[in-house]
Amino acid sequence: MMNWKVIKTEPEYQAGIKRTLQIFDAEPNTPKGEELELLLVLVKDYEEKHIQLPEVNTIEAIKLKMDERGITPKDLESIIGTKGHVSSILSGRREITLKMAQKLKDYLKLPAEIFLHKAS
């Protein structure tokens, strides 16, 4: 077991990831389990400070989730409105309202953060 400290560099981050993968199945409340808990916190901290994830396209996320779950545009009419409204939303010609976003989040089981970005 290494003496881990705050991860500040890419090589330290890579070492942390490597070790995390090695001990990922560690039992809780054991030395390796405690090392894993600490590493997960340190790695997450580094990632939040240094790694910027690409912005998610809201419409693409909706379409992907629809495809995964076998949902058709017609199935969204009860949430979005008419066939024309659904088409306008899915093509990006119309903005998703807050009310629609709330319903789509629940219906498609998407994280709310998806709807915080522009759809285009």
Q: Which two tokens stand for residue 6?
A: 């705050």
Q: Give the number of other CB atoms < 10 A from CB of residue 49.
A: 11
- What's the pLDDT at 4? 94
pLDDT tens profile 58-112? 999 999 999 999 999 999 999 999 999 999 999 999 999 889 999 999 999 998 8
- 3-class SS of residue 43: helix
C-alpha distances out from residue 117 to 19, 82, 92, Å? 34, 24, 13
- What's the pLDDT at 93? 94
